[in-house]
Amino acid sequence: MSHKNYGYSLPAVFIPFLFMAGCFQGYQQPAAAEASNVSAFSELAAEINKSTQTIMEKAPREHIQPELIQVIENNYPKYPPRYVIPLPHKSAVAKDELRNLCRFIPGESFILADSDRYRTEGTLFVFTTHALYILSGKTIAAHLGHASWYNAYEGQPYALALSYSQLAGLKIWDTSFEKCLKTDEGLIIKISRQSGIPDCLDAVLAFLKGTAGKSEFKTDSASQYEFIKGHTLIVPHLTPKATEQLRESMQKMTQTHADYVCLAIMADLETFNTPSIRWGSKADFPDEMLLQAIQIARENHLKIVLKPMVNCQDSIWRAWIEFTNDQGRQNLAEWAKWWDAYNAFILHYIRIAQQTGCEMFCIGCEMNSVEPFEQKWRELIWEARKLYSGLLTYNANHGREQEVRFWDALDVIGMSGYYPLGNYMQAAGIEGADQSDYQVAIEDLRIAWELVRDELRQVSRRWKKPLFFIECGICSAKGVSRTPWQHSSPDLIYDGQEQADFYQAVLEMFWDEPWFMGFTWWAWPSVLPPCQEASKQVGFEIYCKPAEDVLKQWYAKDRPFAYQAP
């Protein structure tokens, strides 16, 4: 195949790919020659797709105001052509095909997509909650695998990804019939005035200029990043006695060389399908108790991650919160009530986090069924930014890191590190790891955690964010390291060494990773039992167990942190 490929990066992450004109003009030739050209087109399309993938992976990602979303939707002159792309020969791509076409755009929520059907280039504009993507008609045709459409479009195959602030910095001008955009490297994109795209662009630019100089509630995340040596502690109902017990507990916590505590605050749902949330005074936990716990943490020189959580009183895990009607369909009215209640709950505590200078705030914990409401999370994060200047994170459950689509709007990726290590051991070919009586060795744990680490490295790379274990740990019981979430069985047999080996393997695998930001292990008790008693308990706590000695040795080390994308 004869073609030229020019690739170069711009601030907007622009890598055009230009191909020699006339390469594929032989599609009307006899069948033998046509087959050869089909093969050549497949090769060309694969190269275009690969280049587009690279562009999109490197695309700038910035959270935009909900108001701008409304501006885009409200300023298309006709009905919004949401998810519809007209193509040559009066064909069209509808919603599902668009999502497949734009699968190379990671973690996006589409606002509006339309192409300029009045020009022969067929340029596609995809407005998303993160960026504006512009693709030429030839690029679209290559992705859809249509050689005839590729030839029908004029111009060159290219792809462009712009944050909205970068869009405002482009050279843009109007003629009688067109709006023109020019990149720093000279690519000129012309859009017909007959399409609605210029009106959208005008409205976006007017909005951006109107908000210029105003606070966008962004944090200088990198300057706040530091390695976290911490534990999680559930804040109890604080009577005078419980307050003294909490003070003693945090004093002992600092003896592990911890410098952070994740204060978990519990709120209640009566059932998994009840949209109201009981918290604060209604849950017998007035703000004064939290403020007292924060004060005790500060007295012990501990920095704070504040983490409000919801639990269902019917013992259903919060990850399975659901609101459906009698037909089994989503009950959107009930979901709306729930989101109103949840927003009030989170924003109340984020005000306290700002008031008390908490270094990080967690907006949710292991809410699998709620995670698909991407735009709701983004709106909550936006409101949180208005009130809070610290770092924001979300606590995803193990295995859900790829399902959360709003990591870009946060500062840090928070994970519950209860990975099914038994499965990883089997995948690594460890003989006997599938047997219930298999005795797990520390080397098995190292192998399994190395596989987990490699997966999480890719998550950090994709989202360009540091990652930490906001929860991690196992019970001090025999065999549980293969299923670290296990804790409720009455048949657990104490094994402090297996817990210690688990900690050692995790720390070895993650400690020196430049993208990994630390731990707040689950969980440090608010009331410490006598050491002799604690040393034989089978719970997650490491107090007076071998794992505590392991952690002390690691936490005693200096661990500077400057995030480096893997």
For position 107, what pLDDT does the model report?
57
In the chain, the domains with their CATH numbers are: 31-211 (no CATH), 227-340+365-378+391-555 (3.20.20.80)
**Burial (Cβ within 10 Å: 0-12, 13-18, ≥19) of residue 218:** exposed
* φ and ψ of 180, to 5 deg: -120, 135
% helix, strand, coil for the chain, step of 5: 40, 20, 45
- Residue partners of 282: CB distance under 8 A and separation at least 6: none
Nearest to 106 by CA among 373, 392, 461: 461
CA-based nearest residue to 372, from 417, 414, 323, 411: 323
Q: What is the pLDDT of residue 423?
A: 95
Helix axes 197-211, 66-74, angle to 10 degrees: 150
C-alpha distances in Å from residue 330, one per residue of 110, 141, 336: 21, 36, 11
Question: Parallel, antiparallel, or unpaired: how do β-strands 132-135 and 124-128 relate?
Answer: antiparallel
List the one residue out of 377, 327, 386, 488 whose CA is nearest residue 129.
Answer: 377
Indicate the helix (H) or strand (E) that contains 111: strand 110-115
Question: How many other C-beta atoms can be found within 10 angstroms of the C-beta atom of residue 46?
Answer: 12
The CA distance from 381 to 229, in Å, is: 25
- The answer to whether the CB of 345 falls within 8 A of the CB of 303 is no
Give the whole-angstrom CA distance, residue 327 versus residue 232. Answer: 41
User: Given this model, what pLDDT does residue 542 score?
Assistant: 98
Give the pLDDT of residue 400: 95
From first to last of the 566 residues of the chain, give the pLDDT tens digit. Answer: 333 222 222 333 444 444 322 332 222 223 333 334 778 888 888 888 888 878 877 777 676 777 787 787 777 655 444 444 444 444 445 555 555 566 556 556 667 777 777 778 888 888 887 788 888 888 888 888 888 888 888 888 888 888 888 888 888 887 767 888 888 777 889 888 777 788 888 888 888 877 544 434 444 566 689 999 999 999 999 999 999 999 999 999 999 999 999 999 999 999 888 899 999 999 999 999 999 999 999 999 999 999 999 999 998 989 899 998 888 788 889 999 999 999 999 999 999 999 999 999 999 999 999 998 888 998 899 899 989 999 999 999 999 999 998 998 899 999 999 999 999 999 999 998 888 889 999 999 999 999 999 999 999 999 999 999 999 999 999 999 999 999 877 889 999 999 999 999 999 999 999 999 999 999 999 999 999 999 999 999 999 999 999 999 999 999 999 888 78
C-alpha 180/C-alpha 193 separation (Å) is 10
Alpha-helix runs per DSSP H in 102-219: 137-144, 147-152, 164-168, 197-211
Determine contact, residues 262/305, Cβ cutoff 8 Å. Answer: yes
Phi-psi sector, 29: left (phi>0), alpha (psi -120 to 50), beta: beta
Q: Quick one: which H or E segment has residue 415?
A: strand 412-416
Vertex 20, ends 18 and 24: CA angle to 5°?
A: 115
Residue type for 94, please?
A: A
Cα 36 to Cα 57: distance, rounded to the nearest angstrom? 32
Spatial distance between the Cα atoms of 41 and 446, rounded to a whole number of angstroms: 47
Taking the mean position of all CA atoms in its chain, how far away is CA 420?
Answer: 21
Residue 519 β-bridge partners: 229, 469
Strand 188-192 to strand 178-182: parallel, antiparallel, or no bridges (unpaired)?
antiparallel
DSSP H/E element including 39: helix 31-57
CA distance 530 to 270: 35
Tell me the C-alpha distance between 128 and 406, whole Å: 12
- pLDDT given at position 130: 78
Rounded CA-CA distance 334/276 in Å is 9
Contact status, residue 120 vs residue 154, Cβ threshold 8 Å: yes
What is the Cα–Cα distance from 57 to 13, expressed in whole angstroms? 9
- How many Cβ atoms are within 10 Å of 534's Cβ, its own excluded? 18
Helices (H), 361-441: 374-387, 421-427
